[in-house]
Chains A and B, each alone.
Chain A
Amino acid sequence: MLSQKQFLNAYCYLNGFDDFDANKWNSFVRVLRENSLVASFYHRLERSNQLYCIPEYCEDMFLSAINFANAQVIQTEVQGKKLIRLFNAIDIPFVFLKGAAYILGSKRNSMGRLMTDIDICVEKENIDKAEEALLGAGWSFKNMDEHDDKYYREWSHEIPPLKHDNEGVVLDVHHTLIPPIKGRLLDIHALIHSSESDSDFSSTIPSRAWLVLHSALHLILNEDVKNGLRDLTDIFVLLYGEGSASENVAETEALFIKEGFEQEWIVLSLLLEDFFNTEIGSEHASANLSLYIRMRHFILRKAIVPNSSFIQSDGRWLWDSVNYVLGYCSKMPLHILFKQVTYKTYRNLIKLAFGEYFFRKPKPKRNGL
């Protein structure tokens, strides 16, 4: 088992491997694997010319992850081209978000980056047309219960996730980056027309600043930070991994402020300072910060560290629970929050009594494993 400090020293600072014996390497790669960080960590280590740190007994694990990630790049490019052709045919501008955007925009943090689905964003007035086109092109809605379907359509105002019948790819179509909250609407038109990429997918990749904003809002305003360290790493590499860091930071900070997320920028700065020792957090460290900022920063700093049996925990369940509540509170009106909490509480009580997998649908019988 690793202490939190040992894990973060190795993962964030790429340091401390001299003290790693086989047991520590075992714990470290277990955490990486649980959080789909094996391949991306390998590339970060490669960029810092430290691949020699990886012992021979771990090499196969890293190479396997690299092969998997490379195959995902291929699949993403193929799907990306198909989606561009589809949306061009119906004249709907859109952008890719998160993992797909990083890969198709050839961003440095795309190297080894895994994802479970493709995210795109269209403007609100185009969402119905987008849905119709996708359903006509072999996409269908993933199975979900009535509550979740209602959650997507009525609360999130987006269509539920789609899956391609032949190709098994999952697609999330958004028309905003966060659920609409009074006074906090993003300029999606600006997002969709912000592209600065020169890759083959140029017009469909948001600017670096928008990519960071989206990832940060996902991290800070979400109730679930299971991928929090991955998201924070994405942001760190986007800002500091290529181009001029000072320009990247300045442009991104300007966007956060313009879109009304100055507090979230401060939280993000503090987190980047905590985990990656950047300097942008230092100017806020001594400032008179609001309770909201201090609370979010404190909780996220605890909750972002991966929850793993291979890392010593300090009441981890508590931080996850608090973050869960704060995350919901920050993005939902009270009446929706009440309904959601009631529903989730009911389900959790049932799972407590009858097992975590009470609601899991039985898998169909199939050949193979």
Chain B
Amino acid sequence: MLDSESSEAFTVFEDGSGIALLKSDYSSVVLITSAIEKEFPTLHRLLSSDEPSRCKIKSELLAQGFFSVDYSY
């Protein structure tokens, strides 16, 4: 579910298929779990777990610069 209080908006889809996140310039990044194993192994592991931790996922997203508007994906 979406955490509407956070300035970093992202959704972890309950079917485990991936996440979508809203950057601060209102553009979005969509990450498919099965497609990111090689490039983002930590994120892939977190998303593939039985109960993904939103907190850890958010930390990893921030660490990888996904919320940065300078980074194009």
Contact = CB atoms under 8 A, between A and B. Distances in A.
A82 B70 contact: yes
Contacts of B29: none
A74 B72 contact: no
A78 B24 contact: yes
Interface of B is mostly: loop
Q: How large is the interface on A (under 10, 10 to 19, 20 to 34, 35 or more residues)?
A: under 10
A345 interface: no
A70 B39 CA distance: 35
Contacts of B24: 74, 78
A41 B70 CA distance: 34
A71 interface: yes
B26 interface: yes
B72 A75 contact: no
Interface string B12-27: 0000000000001110
A105 to B, nearest CB: 19
Contact of B72 (A71, A82, A166): A166
Nearest to B26: A74
A237 B13 CA distance: 47
A126 B57 CA distance: 45
A78 B25 contact: yes
Contacts of A71: 26
Contacts of B26: 71, 74-75
Best-surrounded residue of B25, B70, B72 (most CB of chain A within 10 A): B25
Interface of A: 71, 74-75, 78, 82, 166
CB-based closest 3 A-B pairs: A78-B25, A78-B69, A74-B26
